[in-house]
Chains A and B, each alone.
Chain A
Amino acid sequence: MEKEFKHIQTAHCENGVATSLLRYHGLDFMTEPLVFGMGSGLFYIHIPFLMVNGGPAVSYRSMPGWIFSRASKLLGIKVKRVKFSNEKAAQDFVEEKVRQGIPIGCQVGVFNLPYFPPEYRFHFNAHNLIIYGKENGRYLVSDPVMEGVTTLSPEELNKVRFAKGPLAPKGHVYYPELVPQVSQEQIRKAIVKGIRKNSRDMLYIPGPIAGVDGIKYTANHIRKWREKLGVRKAGLYLGQIVRMQEEIGTGGGGFRFLYGAFLEQASAYLQNDELRNISDEFTKAGDMWRESAIHMGRIYKGRMSEQKDYEQSADMLMDIMAVEKEAFKKLHKLNLKY
């Protein structure tokens, strides 16, 4: 049974690997927004005291790996995951899958990823790509954030699979082992459950640092940064927030547009117009995140640097929080049927 693997470019790498692999296994309805929504991908968290590349650790999405796991669980798909302590065994495993003609997802670090733009090669270890074959001694690679397919030599692949540091991939590979027929009802059920979980997480996760409350936590910090860190460092911190929010992989607006697209598709599946209206609110939130990025950009570009400018940044975040809180409350209250 030779099926042809098709490269699909997506905004986000994990969604992309999930979408491509599931479509390869016959789930033709699968789209990036659906994976993201079923996997309750939207999130916000500001982890205190932790520094990433010399800036605050904020994230606009769920933990790496969770989106695919949650989505496939809801659809009754079994995903096999393997990690390795031995580099040789890790390579043998990939060789075997290539021989069997089974495309597999692969977690890698980007610091040594040769086809990545050099300016983007930081020690970030939760990038995902697909190995779907081997030609002339090089692995055929479908990296969802790239426009086209690419290749890696066995040594290059080995190096990125065994990148070290936080979230070290340890050769992590994964692939759907059992993909059953998925009925329309199951799709609707997965959508509804994804929405319920996502609104619960964003509204009611305990503590001040995560969910919609996390946005307030960041806002309160921003008010103090200028005095505490000085203009230069405060600017770098704001830059870090913008990068996490807008960098390649987010689809723009800190994944909010992606979630809006999901609700739009959900509205069609569930024949529910209210979902379409709430989708517009997430579009609005995404637009507000982008305006906030422009404002922060003026600060780190040095065009403005007074305390009131930082206050305004914080106020903008508070407005975003209000919009998202309202939208998720509406989602939470919807009595969705599947």
Chain B
Amino acid sequence: MKKENLPQDQSALNGFTREVCYVKDENGTYTTGLSTGWDVKKDALDNAWDDIHERVNEAREAVKRGEKSPIYYFMELRLMDLPVLSGYTGFWRMTIKRHFKPQVFKGLSDQRLAAYAKAFDVSVDELKNFKG
């Protein structure tokens, strides 16, 4: 890629930083250039976020319908999956899956709820009372 062809598109980096790219100067020698972003990857990132928002909404609906516990919703909201949530709480993945069930969630001890609340960066009350 030639330096003059380095894309300078709007992206999520704007206002934070520009990124270093390795490009060719007019003599065909490698140099570095700073880029504000590239539409092709901005689209990829935007798509990923659309997908996240959709999943969070679906999770909210599932809690509303009484199919999933708030733990499932907050996991999606915080962009977590089972391995990550398991890392933060210390619970096994199978255990967490069980806690997705509203019936099981109701019986969770305050201690366990506190572990989840800490992982999600919310209060125990917010977690307990989330209705979707």
**Cβ of A242 and Cβ of B51 under 8 Å apart?**
no
Residues of the A chain whose Cβ atoms lie less than 8 Å from the Cβ of B24: 283
**Cβ of A297 and Cβ of B12 under 8 Å apart?**
no
- Whether A2 is near chain B, meaning CB under 8 Å from some CB there, is no
**Cβ of A117 and Cβ of B83 under 8 Å apart?**
no
8 Å CB contact of B1 from A111, A115, A243, A287? A287
For the complex formed, measure the closest distance between the CB of A159 and the CB atoms of chain B, giving whole angstroms: 10
**Cβ of A111 and Cβ of B79 under 8 Å apart?**
yes
Residues of the B chain whose Cβ atoms lie less than 8 Å from the Cβ of A286: 1
Residues of the B chain whose Cβ atoms lie less than 8 Å from the Cβ of A257: 1, 21-23, 30
The size class of the interface chain A forms with chain B is 35 or more
- Chain B residue with the shortest CB-CB distance to A36: B22
- Whether B19 is near chain A, meaning CB under 8 Å from some CB there, is yes
Q: A194–B119 Cα gap in the complex (Å)?
A: 41
Residues of the A chain whose Cβ atoms lie less than 8 Å from the Cβ of B81: 51
8 Å CB contact of A165 from B12, B15, B88? B88
Q: A168–B89 Cα gap in the complex (Å)?
A: 13
Residues of the B chain whose Cβ atoms lie less than 8 Å from the Cβ of A119: 12, 45, 49
Q: Which of B34-42, B61-69, B123-131 contacts A (4 or more CB under 8 A)?
A: B34-42
- Chain B residue with the shortest CB-CB distance to A255: B22
- Whether B108 is near chain A, meaning CB under 8 Å from some CB there, is no
Residues of the A chain whose Cβ atoms lie less than 8 Å from the Cβ of B38: 246
Known: A11-B32, A252-B1. A239 touches B13 (CB 8 A): no
8 Å CB contact of A243 from B45, B88, B119? B45
Known: A117-B12, A239-B47, A240-B48. A293 touches B41 (CB 8 A): yes
**Cβ of A243 and Cβ of B48 under 8 Å apart?**
yes
Residues of the B chain whose Cβ atoms lie less than 8 Å from the Cβ of A120: 12-13, 45
**Cβ of B79 and Cβ of A243 under 8 Å apart?**
no
- Whether B104 is near chain A, meaning CB under 8 Å from some CB there, is no
For the complex formed, measure the closest distance between the CB of B61 and the CB atoms of chain A, giving whole angstroms: 18
- Whether A214 is near chain B, meaning CB under 8 Å from some CB there, is no
8 Å CB contact of A147 from B17, B44, B83? B17
**Cβ of B22 and Cβ of A11 under 8 Å apart?**
yes
- Chain A residue with the shortest CB-CB distance to B15: A117
- 8 Å CB contacts to A: which residues of B102-117? none
For the complex formed, measure the closest distance between the CB of A277 and the CB atoms of chain B, giving whole angstroms: 12
Residues of the B chain whose Cβ atoms lie less than 8 Å from the Cβ of A242: 40-41, 44
**Cβ of A123 and Cβ of B21 under 8 Å apart?**
no
For the complex formed, measure the closest distance between the CB of B7 and the CB atoms of chain A, giving whole angstroms: 9
Q: Known A-B contacts: A146-B17, A240-B48. Give 14 more (CB < 8 A).
A: A11-B19, A11-B20, A54-B48, A123-B80, A164-B84, A239-B44, A242-B41, A251-B22, A253-B1, A258-B22, A260-B30, A279-B30, A293-B40, A300-B44
Chain B contacts to A: CB under 8 angstroms: 1, 12-13, 15-24, 29-30, 32, 34, 38-41, 43-45, 47-49, 51, 79-81, 83-88, 119
15 contacts across the A-B interface (CB closer than 8 A): A117-B13, A117-B16, A165-B85, A165-B88, A235-B47, A242-B44, A246-B38, A251-B21, A251-B22, A257-B21, A257-B30, A265-B30, A286-B1, A297-B43, A300-B43
